[in-house]
Chain A
Amino acid sequence: MGAVMDGVDEGRDVTLVQILRGGDSEADATHPWLHRIDELATRWGDRMNPILVKETRQALKSRQFVTTFSVLLVASLAWTIIGSLQGMPAIYHTPSAPRMLIGYYLLLAVPMLLIVPLAAYRSLESEVDEGTLDLLSVTSLSPRQIITGKLASASLQMMLYLVVLFPSVAYAYTLRGIDLPTLGLLMGMLIATGLALTMVALFFAPVSAGRTGQIASLLVVTAILIWAEFLVGPVAFQLIRGGNPLALSDTLVLVVCVLGFGISFCVLLLIATAARLTPESENRSTGIRIAILAHLLIVIAVCGFAVRWFARQGLSEELSAIPLGLSVYLVAFWTIVGSMVCAESAVMTPRIRRELPGTFLGRLFLTWLTPGPATGLVFATVTLAITLAASHWLLAQVIRTTGWLAIDLERHRELALLVVSYLAIGFLGVRLIIAFLRTRNPVTVRVGMAALAVTLLMMTVVPYAIGSYLNDYRPFDYSAWQASNWAWTLRRAYDQSLNESVLYLIVGIATVAFLVHLLLLGQRVLPQRLATPERVEQEYRRLAGLESVAAEVSDPLGLGGDAVGT
């Protein structure tokens, strides 16, 4: 490298514009401070994510941004005039901020919650569609940088839209009727929701390369965005009209809980989206599994924190919803995530094997984070069991704290045991189906969801059909033969009419199946770590050295202070 280099003005201080235009700018000579600002901006820009720089340049010139910006500007001005005139003369003596703010919220919500996420979606989708993602993939940018760049660009656009509305919002504040913390909460909620929706939109963007898949994913994203508009809208209106009904401490708890959940979920989506852009030869799984663990840990911690808080406030009804909601969320989460983890590719490329844990303790505890369906099954089942146990413990704490007996701890325990057992059996079904399919065709992890659906459907339909046939298609009672029929069994457990022996049978079968699986995969879960070739390590060290040298260069353009204006 470095062979092709000529025609450079060494030792001469030049700016980018001068280089491209081939002349010195008069402004630089007459206004050295302008030159200095330009120099600082260039230096700052060098440290930024290239995607952010490119997307910002693109966005500022795009018709969509210019139109949205102009329309927002004109509409906010129009509403300021019309709203104020309509409120006359009461505006002088009656608090009028809420009425004006509702208009501004409606104006701002469209670009923040709809246009920016859709633009981010379209931006990533077109990278896939037009082949530019290939060009990005062969650069030094990592998939994670690509996604964070898109996210950062979206947040920058949001800031610009907020800036447009800022004078109008400030004007509304002067009309009285809303306090600054509520206004801050409203804007914070809008920004946080906008960013979360952008991340969701980015997650769906590379889902499918085919035209039909793209249309389907666009419809799903649009539906989510519109649903979010309707979900956030009433909360915002309530905030504007009635102010924040919660005390400051309660508000802080709520903000911590929502942010904790939202941030960890968005990070999980970000890592999963980046993994989709990463080649199969690389370890795409460990990062996702760590993000899953972190997300669940945060969710459980937030729930625990909320339970303690509400208990201290004496709010027992709110308390009951937390552990039950957590259980439902965990089951839904693991049904989707578990099926995909169990459908991972079993191929361990040398690159992945270089990164395997090398020590005994590392193997003991970290093997379950390494890629593959075998480790995935163990990871999903064990984590599901542990997290559901945590939610059960939380429920027990609630009952102990409040003495509220409306929640039956025993029923929750039974249901949790059954769900873990059925899902563990379902995950085994996914593994077998995917292993069979992989002998014929390449299979993506999304097929795992279909495989789980098929497994669960068969577990229900087959015993029911047999029972129906044996009873001459007449209604029949539940028996132990229907143990695999999870729908009927769960219903019986919910009604507290399930025989304990059936419960033990199901849990026993799942435990035995899990243990057999664990024994059979002994060799697979402990693959030998491969040494990284010395030349490869040397090269990585060399590149790391180059990067640190580049980072240390305080004046990358060679436009030192002494040279300014010369």
Chain B
Amino acid sequence: MTTTATTTTAAFPIPAVHSDDSVCIELRRLHRFFGKTKAVSDISFSVRRGQVFGYIGPNGAGKTTSMRILATLDLPSYGEAFVDGFSVINDPELVRHRLGYMPDAFGTYRDVNCWEYLDFFARSYGLVGRDRIRRLRWVLDFTGTRGMAEKPIRGLSKGMKQRLCLGRALIHDPAVLILDEPAAGLDPRARIELRRMIGELGARGKTVLVSSHILTELAEMCDSVGIIEQGRLLATGSVEEIQRERKQHRELVVRVLERTPELARHLAARDDCENLVVDGQLVRLEFSGNPQAQATLVRELILAGFPIVEVTARSKSLEDVFLQVTEGWVQ
């Protein structure tokens, strides 16, 4: 794929078609202003083909705005965004063919049953005849809504509506899925089901951009995440990568039979151990070294004669990373 023309949006020279085939979603210096409010400010990241990318941020951080821009529903004030190599500004029709979008609102119709709803969207994507029936059937099976096909949408539970909306986003078999808070308000079982479906889509090669407040779920299903606050992208990459970039510490708990205060003093003298807390036979600390350094430390302690019973280490969760990266600003 080659870049064949150059366009200019405001001050930034931007190629009209991006050149990397393996990148499926790309945001370049994206800005979106509403009056004086900067909803999105200079966001750039890319998602590789087949990745599940988690988009995390507090309310009003700019997640929905940037997702709406990617879904061709809004325009950036500056910058560009590409889906599967096509500009969302200049070639929205081509983007829409490749994109399945699930907003945070259900968007359902009165006096329509599930089958009619999906059938309507299948027709709207230009599916006809056997193709449409195949897709309808697959979507009803995949989302587990076949039994509900003839039930009116208004009577469905929130979980079933959410499945239906995922089905609607999948009806034209898009290469890219943008899911805005798909798990919001769902019960644990429905969340697990949704997570399974997203995981399966990722396994089938779909590129998924998903935002959620439930960080533990994102951590399980996402290959990488982007953390956004106040319209700015604070960190991007896998959880481990962000941890490494931020030089984040692992939490170590050392349990000894005796000489706990002496152990604490010993550890406090080291550069790679911080925030020590003595709790009975336990010494909790934050260790900045890698696993190799951790093994060396344990060996040293044993050689120093400390009666160590156990050493446990815990990597920081996505939640911990999120809290550390963000500052709690809400617009």
- Whether A associates with B in a native complex is yes
**Chain A: residues with CB nearer than 8 A to chain B?**
1-8, 14, 16, 19-20, 42-43, 46, 50-51, 53-54, 57-58, 61-62, 130-132, 134-141, 279-282, 349-351, 354, 441-442, 530-536, 539-540, 543, 547, 550, 553, 555-558
Judge whether B5 and A8 touch: CB under 8 Å. no
Which B residues touch A4, using CB under 8 A? 138, 142, 170, 173, 201, 204, 206
**Complex Cα–Cα for A532 and B1 (A):** 15
**Complex Cα–Cα for A20 and B141 (A):** 10
Judge whether B130 and A50 touch: CB under 8 Å. no
Judge whether A351 and B90 touch: CB under 8 Å. yes
Judge whether A350 and B173 touch: CB under 8 Å. no
Which of B1, B99, B115, B204 is A138 in contact with, Cβ under 8 Å? B99
Judge whether B124 and A139 touch: CB under 8 Å. yes
Which of chain B's residues has its CB closest to A45's CB? B123
**Complex Cα–Cα for A131 and B106 (A):** 8
- Knowing A140-B126, A351-B91, A558-B130, say if A57 contacts B116 (CB, 8 Å): yes
Which has the most chain A C-beta neighbours within 10 Å: B68, B115, B131? B131
Contacts A19-B136, A533-B16, A536-B16 supplied; 20 other A-B pairs, CB < 8 Å? A1-B175, A5-B173, A20-B136, A57-B112, A62-B111, A131-B107, A138-B72, A139-B96, A140-B93, A279-B92, A281-B89, A349-B9, A350-B9, A351-B90, A536-B86, A543-B97, A550-B129, A553-B128, A557-B130, A558-B129
Let me know if B257 is at the binding interface, CB within 8 A: no
Which B residues touch A130, using CB under 8 A? 105, 107-108
**Complex Cα–Cα for A335 and B134 (A):** 54
Which has the most chain A C-beta neighbours within 10 Å: B97, B120, B170, B204? B120
- Knowing A135-B103, A532-B5, A536-B17, say if A556 contacts B128 (CB, 8 Å): yes
Which of B17, B133, B205 is A19 in contact with, Cβ under 8 Å? B133
Let me know if B71 is at the binding interface, CB within 8 A: yes
Which has the most chain B C-beta neighbours within 10 Å: A132, A134, A135? A135
Judge whether B120 and A50 touch: CB under 8 Å. yes
Chain B: minimal CB distance from A540 (Å): 7
Q: Would you mind naming 17 contact pairs between A and B with Cβ atoms under 8 Å apart?
A: A4-B204, A5-B134, A8-B137, A46-B129, A53-B123, A58-B109, A134-B71, A135-B107, A135-B168, A140-B125, A536-B16, A536-B86, A539-B91, A555-B129, A556-B128, A556-B129, A557-B129
Which of chain B's residues has its CB closest to A349's CB? B89
Judge whether B17 and A533 touch: CB under 8 Å. yes
Judge whether B89 and A140 touch: CB under 8 Å. no
Which of chain A's residues has its CB closest to B112's CB? A58
Let me know if B121 is at the binding interface, CB within 8 A: yes
Contact with A along B76-103 (1 / 0, CB 8 A): 0000000001110111111011110101
B contact residues, total (Cβ < 8 Å): 73
Judge whether A138 and B101 touch: CB under 8 Å. yes
Which of chain A's residues has its CB closest to B71's CB? A138
Judge whether A50 and B5 touch: CB under 8 Å. no
Q: Which residues 42-77 of B sit at the A interface, judged by CB distance below 8 A? A: 68, 71-73, 75
**Complex Cα–Cα for A137 and B68 (A):** 11
**Complex Cα–Cα for A351 and B16 (A):** 10
**Complex Cα–Cα for A58 and B108 (A):** 12
Let me know if B149 is at the binding interface, CB within 8 A: yes
Judge whether B5 and A138 touch: CB under 8 Å. no
**Complex Cα–Cα for A46 and B131 (A):** 11
**Complex Cα–Cα for A61 and B136 (A):** 22
**Complex Cα–Cα for A14 and B136 (A):** 14
**Complex Cα–Cα for A318 and B305 (A):** 117
Which of B86, B107, B135 is A132 in contact with, Cβ under 8 Å? B107
Judge whether B137 and A19 touch: CB under 8 Å. yes
- Knowing A8-B138, A61-B111, A138-B101, say if A350 contacts B128 (CB, 8 Å): no
**Complex Cα–Cα for A136 and B97 (A):** 13
Judge whether A536 and B94 touch: CB under 8 Å. yes
Let me know if B174 is at the binding interface, CB within 8 A: yes
Contact with A along B1-34 (1 / 0, CB 8 A): 1111101110000001100000000000000000
Which of chain B's residues has its CB closest to A15's CB? B133
Which B residues touch A555, using CB under 8 A? 129
**Complex Cα–Cα for A556 and B35 (A):** 50
**Complex Cα–Cα for A290 and B112 (A):** 38
Chain B: minimal CB distance from A484 (Å): 34
Let me know if B270 is at the binding interface, CB within 8 A: no
Which of chain A's residues has its CB closest to B3's CB? A533
Let me know if B150 is at the binding interface, CB within 8 A: yes
**Complex Cα–Cα for A151 and B22 (A):** 44
Judge whether B173 and A3 touch: CB under 8 Å. yes
Judge whether B90 and A539 touch: CB under 8 Å. no
Chain B: minimal CB distance from A115 (Å): 16
